[in-house]
Amino acid sequence: MATAARPGGPAGHVCGIDAAMSVIGGKWKVLILWALGERACRFGELRRRLPGVTEKVLASHLREMEEHGIVHREAHDEVPPRVVYSLTETGTSLNAALVPLGMWGKAHVLGVAA
């Protein structure tokens, strides 16, 4: 069965939120943004900071986020190989845009006063 094309603007997006969610949608991408917003991490450290994520999913999400220009992957020419992930300027601005959402979640879901 063929998937029907979505109405709307470029790539079928109907609004800015729809477009943004196509980039950060999924269970782990926002948490990856949060972790890398605190500091650059190697793959193993990032996996430890996100309990429950599988290596396959983490690698896939990091690759997609790199393609969208949100995450920078820096491979060091060493033995054993060392790869460090960090946020790009675009990723940092996206993380900043999510701050109000995090504040809403604390107030309305977790019941934590601001």
pLDDT along the chain (114 residues), means of 10: 53 83 91 96 96 96 96 93 96 94 92 76
Give me the pLDDT at residue 8, please: 58
pTM above 0.85, yes or no: no
Give me the pLDDT at residue 3, please: 47
DSSP of 40-101: -EEHHHHHHHSTT--HHHHHHHHHHHHHTTSEEEEEE--SS-EEEEEE-HHHHHHHHHHHHH
Give me the pLDDT at residue 113, please: 76
Give me the pLDDT at residue 40, please: 97
